[in-house]
Every structure is written in C-alpha cells, then in structure tokens.
Amino acid sequence: MLVLVVLLLSLAAADALTAFPPKFQVGKLNGDVVVKCDTSEPWVTWTLDGDPEPMAELVVEGRTLTIRGLDQPATGNYSCWAGPVLLDTTYVVVSDAREEGVNVSCQAESYRGSFHCFWSWPHSAVFRARLTRSDGSSGEWVPVSGHRGRFSAGFTDPSFCPFAEELHPLQLQLEGLSDTSYLNFSVHFFIRDIVRPDPPQELTVQRRGEQLHLTWAPPASWPLPKSYFALLYRLQYELPNGTQAFRYVEGAEELELQEQAQRVRISCRDPYANPAWSPWSAWKVIGAARR
C-alpha cells in the first residue's frame, strides 16, 4: 500500500477554498444536480454560501435539493439546516474539461520509490493527488502545496522494487477544485524515465607531478550496490585560457587528468536508462602548481 500523508481539510470563514472540502459534488454546466442532506430530519432548509435566497433555481423535496441548470453563479457551499442547527454541507462545482492546460513534471532522485511532481495552473485552485498502480490499487489522497499557481506533491511507494523491471507505468491522478469548477485528469510514467540523481559528492583534486588525480563519491541518495546501480559521470574542467572541456567516466570514481585545469565540477546519470543528468556539483578551484 502506498504510504502517503493524510490530507488536512479546512474552509476559510469567507467560504474561499483553501483545501478540499470534506464533501463536494460535481455537475455539468447547465445540467441538474441533486444534493442530499445527510440527516434523519424529515424537512430542512437550505442556504448557498450562507444566503437563504440564492440566485439559483432550486427545488426542495424533504432532505433533497435539486439545482436546475447549474451555472457558475449557482456553485458554492450548500448547507442544510434544522432551524438554527447546521446539519450538513456540500460544495457544488461545475466540471472543467481543460486538461490540456496542465503540464505535470515528475522527478525522482533514485530508484527508492520516492519522487515529487510539479505543475502550474493559472487560476486560483486547490489540488490533491494520488497514485494508482497497474493492479488497480490506489493510494490515499496526498495533500498538495501551492503558491502563486505552482503546485507540488511528494509520494513514496514502499512496494517499489529497485531490482525489478518496470513492466507497467504508474498513474498519477490529480483533482483540482476552484470556487466554481472541478478539474480531474491523470498522467502516466515509469520511475526509470523520471530519475535525476543528486550531484556527486566529495570531489577532491590532488596534484601528482604534472597530473591531476580526481576522486569523488556517488550521491548519498543513490542506491547500493554500486555494481548494480552504476553511474555515468561527466566532468567539466576549465583550462587557463578559459576553454572548457569534458571527460566521461563510467563505473569508476577516479580519474587522472593530464591538462592543467583551473577548476572542475561533476555531474552524473544512470548509463542504462535515458534520464536527465544530475545538477552540477559546485566548482572545485585548483591551486597553481608549485615551481
């Protein structure tokens, strides 16, 4: 089962959405929506965002409310009451099919089954997300953090086996909710296609006569053993005349460099898949040779 963080639900006092409401209902534009009050009371009264006379065509039958011809002015928080006592609330929104406006990017540091996903949405909204695997099992909804239209969520799947071949992609399901509309879409991907390692660490340079001896270590987040989870390293170094050059090393963590480099840095990636290179390490400045 996917280990995911529990979503905290809340509504601001002014009915502006800050997180997914505990209960919501999605209707089609200009369609009818039936809302039920979860109570044993035979007769109730209704309000929309606290207004007992909303600008919407409503039909009340006992504990059931029918909204005729749902449009954006008729969306919002419908509450049922027994006198002054609040019984139940349902947030009603219009379905939004603009999936093409969302570009989701996911990234994993290694093959440990953890990764983050990022996307943007131009309108004010709250999101939640969950994973669905090839066997049909789904995880819990994950809370999504957002700021100024940019959103992100983290996932961990402890059943993911880094030694097994991925035969089926994961599916990430996203739900977005604004004050008036609802968005629902999915993206599919393999972990092997989104891996981007952290930078290599512990880059050191020693002079050995006219040569430079470079050593480094794989990222701390990269899985072991090294013989199975090999890395391709890319070294960039700068010569005294400002020219920059590259050297590539696979399956080793040291290099003899003949050139008189002034500084050097390093990145890495999985040599067997085709994911992105890691970010560069910080430049390592090399002192001048003693005469």
Residue 281 is given by DSSP the state P
Average pLDDT of the chain is: 86
The verdict on residue 4 lying in a domain is no
DSSP 51: B
| pLDDT value of position 134 | 65
The verdict on 209 and 185 lying in the same domain is no
Residues 255 and 176 occupy one common structural domain: no
Q: Is residue 175 part of a domain?
A: yes
Mean pLDDT over 8-31 rounds to 69
What pLDDT was estimated at residue 101?
A: 62
- Half-sphere exposure of residue 55, counting CA atoms within 13 Å on the CB side? 3
Quick check: is 181 in a domain?
yes
Tell me: do 246 and 205 sit in the same domain.
yes
Classify residue 83: in a domain, yes or no.
Answer: yes
Is 113 in the same domain as 50?
no
pLDDT tens readout for residues 147-164: 888 899 998 877 788 888
Quote the Cα angle for 94-100-102, to 5°: 85
Summarize the confidence of residues 160-182 as an average pLDDT: 87
Among 193, 221, 246, residue at a domain's last position: 193
Residue 284 has pLDDT above 90, yes or no: yes
Q: What is the Cα–Cα distance from 249 to 242, expressed in whole angstroms?
A: 23
Same domain for 45 and 82, yes or no, is: yes
Q: Binning pLDDT at 50, 70 and 90, where does residue 288 land?
A: low
Give CA separation, 141 vs 38, 132, 156, 290, in Å: 23, 11, 12, 61
Name beta bridge partners: 138: 132
Query: Which residue segment(s) compose the domain that 212 sits in?
Result: 201-285
Round to whole Å and give the CA distance between 149 and 131.
22
β 24-27/85-96 pair status:
parallel
Evaluate whether residue 8 is within a structural domain: no
* Among the listed residues 264, 206, 267, the one whose alpha carbon sits nearest the alpha carbon of residue 231: 267
pTM over 0.85: no
